[in-house]
Amino acid sequence: MRVIQRCTILVTVAMAGLATVAAPAAAASAPGPLRAPTSCIRVSATIHVGRSPVGVAANRKTNTVYVANGGSKTVAVISGRTNTVTATISVGRSPGGVAVNRKTNTVYVTNGIDHTVSVISGRTNTVTATIPVAAPPGPGLAANPKTNTIYVGHPDLVSVISGRTNTVTATIPITGAPGQVAVNPKTNTVYVTGQSVFTVSVISGRTNTVTATIPAGLLPFGVAVNPKTNTIYVSNALDNTVSVISGRTNTVTATIPVGRFSGEVAVNPKTNTVYVTNRDDNTVSVISGRTNTVTATIPVGSFPGGVAVNRKTNTAYVTNQASNTVSVLTSCRR
């Protein structure tokens, strides 16, 4: 069961010719998470969604959360106010990545088997367009609300989609089986993890070209940006670490130990807090962006994968792939 679940991360590595069976052995032999003094964060709710939830995204303007149910061909719509599923939207086969453009109230979902991206209206909860892409899209998906541009990771390339026309306007060659994708809207810069080559590619959103390649740890997968500090956080699944990268110098400035087989990453710029899912530990590491230390380790559901933050409500959402649930993380003071 667990080997199958690992394919959520390792599918693009397999396409690049790497042996996926290497991941369980390496992850199992690595040390567990460093337990730090726990800050006051707790699981305040557990929400049941569809089968095998993978990607998750939050729209802070509408206080709505979207979850891709990889085994159900659906997207669950969650009210951040009531922590209940308010709608279920049918999409393509094997939905994985989710991204939101809060300015247009539009949701984007990758459908891995269908080679498409579903476009969903956040107002009506209906699919308004289906965009064909050139290769199987992975879980990597990000939107730049300032430019209304969407970036989709595939094996060895990134598709650039116009949110205005719902068409692919460019493809960018990427070395190393792209994992997750993140955008800094302030600098119009895109970051893509290269799983098989252990790097992060830096893309100019203006020219759609790779401007730098930054070495990371073993099997870098998750990536998130704090636009306020121009800092990038990358989870290294086989190192059980997070690389901290300066967006100004494109260099790794710190390496933070987290839990085993670290997955996706999310940042709350308002509190300068980073969340990392640890798939083999069934936990989330909470990192202070000020000190680059783990301040809490929170138990969640089975095989946590995706994580998203609503910085307006200071709430994090974690998909638990083997539990078919979403854990809601809030401050104890709420």
Q: What is the DSSP string of 277-306?
A: EETTTTEEEEEETTTTEEEEEEE-SSSEEE
Question: How does pLDDT run along the chain (334 residues), one tens digit per residue?
Answer: 343 345 444 443 333 332 222 333 333 334 444 444 446 899 999 999 999 999 999 999 999 999 999 999 999 999 999 999 999 999 999 999 999 999 999 999 999 999 999 999 999 999 999 999 988 998 899 999 999 999 999 988 999 999 999 999 999 999 888 889 999 999 999 999 998 899 999 999 999 999 999 999 999 999 999 999 999 999 999 999 999 999 999 999 999 999 999 999 999 999 999 999 999 999 999 999 999 999 999 999 999 999 999 999 999 999 999 999 999 999 876 5
Q: Which structure tokens are listed for 51?
A: 């089968």
**What predicted TM-score, i.e. pTM, was given to this entire model?**
0.90
Q: How many CB atoms lie within 10 A of CB 125?
A: 16
Q: Which structure tokens are listed for 238?
A: 């086989």
Backbone angles phi, psi at 101, to 5 degrees: -100, 100
Euclidean distance between CA atoms 236 and 246, whole angstroms: 17
Euclidean distance between CA atoms 256 and 45, whole angstroms: 28
Euclidean distance between CA atoms 258 and 284, whole angstroms: 9
Q: Which structure tokens are listed for 255?
A: 């390496």
